[in-house]
Structure 1
């Protein structure tokens, strides 16, 4: 019975303490009061500490996401991924076109060297240079095929970005749409500058081919004239 009386007295004390704390002003709840300095039991300390901690943490009600906000977020993600796809294909195509231009210039140098050596080198040396030219031409063709493949991918990336930018604008993600359209313009500008390199290389290669045809014709004509000059004395000898 004595233990029961002590338990009831402790429970009554806890109830009266909580009632005093709850009926006080809100500002008093956040300030350390005399109750927090009283050596309560473990249960009393938990009750008072819980009230103080609730006072210190601000409560904010989270509003449910609307369909429009979810669509705008999805549109922004689409623009980010589309922009990454465009930047990667642009870099790959620029590297391929640059490599193609270098390979074409190397081929031009080899062809000029071969034309300059016509009639000056042995047949074995000319054949060696010609084999190098054939190998370089095959390399140029392979890189050109790779450029065509990457260009198709780049065009698809641009089209995808334009569609994503339009979708972002319609959904209300204006900033994402503007950023993506800017990235499209930058990529197109970079490609225009890079294409000038390949166009210049192709132009010089065409000029070299024309030069090759002229030099080969002149060389063949010189060989024929030389053979005719050597055969004339024999014809006169036969007539004699």
Structure 2
């Protein structure tokens, strides 16, 4: 039995020497002396190189289907961007309109009390009016910033709608175009409210100046002549509005 085992071992070693004649015992052991990190890095690199770019998650989908899906994702993103910028712009326009109405109310109050106030009371009211004008100016600048962002969102949405239409995603294209029309209507309504408030403010300013001129006529200061020319009355409001 022992002789049979020795024969088997001798036969196996002989076959190995015949198959790998250049590998000796020392060389064979050196194969396992390399760093396992190197072996792992080579294996990972080989695996990454084997992954093709743009691999489909579903091999049954055609290229046209994948493009339509991508176009739909783009329209969804632009829909969100347009919705957010529209909300910001409308809210800013609403706050601006409120500020204009507050200024109108202050100026009307000032005009109604013009012949009843002393100099200190008049100065105090003017300080409040100036603060209201500064706030209105800040909100006007904020409107300009949001409107520029909103217009970019509209432009991107229009391009996304066109891209979806060209890709065959007709439903996504129609949805985006309808959304654009809706937000444009909403923004236009808010703009009209702001424009009406600005017109009322201009009228209030004109009334204030007219009444001031009347008061000056009734109580002209010493050494000064009252304003008698109607053309001067018409020119002052225009210059006043340009200053604002």
TM-score range, shorter chain: 0.5 to 0.7
Residue 108 (structure 1) aligned to one of 104, 110, 114:
104
Q: Which of the residues 150, 163, 168 maps onto 2:159?
A: 163
Task: Establish whether residue 136 from structure 1 lines up as the match of residue 132 from structure 2.
Answer: yes
Which residue matches 1:201? 197
Mapping for residues 34-73 of structure 1, pairs under 5 Å: 63-73=59-69
User: 2:71 aligned to 75, 90, 95, which one?
Assistant: 75
Work out which of the residue numbers 136, 146, 156 in structure 2 matches 1:150.
146
2:92 matches 1:96: yes
Q: What is the alpha-carbon distance in structure 2 between the residues aligned to residue 219 and residue 88 of structure 1?
A: 50
Deviations 1:170-205 (A, max 9, x none): 001111001111100110111121111101101101
Structure 2, gaps ≥5 residues long: 1-57, 225-244
Deviation at 1:78, TM superposition (A): 0.5
**Alpha-carbon distance between aligned partners in 1 of 2:128 and 2:154, rounded to the nearest angstrom:** 39
| CA distance in structure 2 between the aligned counterparts of 1:116 and 1:109, rounded to whole angstroms | 11
Say which structure is richer in helix.
Answer: 1
2:5 aligned residue: none
| Partner SS state of residue 116, structure 2 | coil
Pair 226,116 (structure 1): closer, same or farther in 2 beyond 3 Å: farther
Residues 211-238 of structure 1 deviation map (CA, whole Å, 9 limit, x = unaligned): 122112112222217889xxxxxxxxxx
Structure number with larger C-alpha Rg: 1
Q: Map Cα deviations across residues 41-80 of structure 1 (whole Å, 9 max, x no partner).
A: xxxxxxxxxxxxxxxxxxxxx6443222221111101100
Could you say if the C-alpha distance between residues 128 and 225 of structure 1 is closer, same or farther in structure 2, counting changes exceeding 3 Å? closer
Q: For 1:112 and 1:226, locate their aligned partners in 2 and report how far apart those are by CA, in whole Å.
A: 28
TM-score, normalised to structure 2's length?
0.65
Question: Number of aligned pairs?
Answer: 167
Q: State the 1:89 CA deviation.
A: 0.6
